Amino acid sequence: MRTLTDTLEELRQEIQEGFDEVADDVGLFHDKLWPAVVKLEKFFRKTNQIEALEDQVQLLDMMGDPIYRSIYQNDEYVVCRRILDIDPTREAAKHQIEDHIIADLARNQDEEKLRAYLEEYYQKNKSEGYSYFLG
């Protein structure tokens, strides 16, 4: 049984190596995203390093497949809100929510309803201890 990586830098390297293995195959690249998000979640729970959550946001933002893109953006919103719950001064999380997630998703729907839905989705994940991100 493999143990959890000891440092965030080691985990980042491990994740990067996984992406390097499938560099030219977009489908396989997308298949590697969620397992990497789960690894970062487990690492965060072990260390409480907020940077692991920030890395989750970056990975979720890489999803380019239109079938999954909006789902991953919903998940991005949850992680960004979680970051802001821990440290309200994290400007990158605020920026990601307003200028990327909301801006992108609101192109196809009412912004007020979108914000209400994202907040409900966030509260649901929060009430469940963010277990969704464990795989």
* Angle of CA points 58, 115, 97, to nearest 5°: 25
pTM: 0.91
How far apart, in whole angstroms, are the C-alpha atoms of residue 47 and residue 49?
5
Separation CA 122–CA 41 (nearest Å):
16
Tens place of pLDDT per residue across the chain (135 aa):
345 678 999 999 999 999 999 878 888 888 899 999 999 999 999 999 999 999 999 999 988 888 888 999 999 999 999 999 999 999 999 999 999 999 999 998 999 999 999 999 999 999 999 999 998
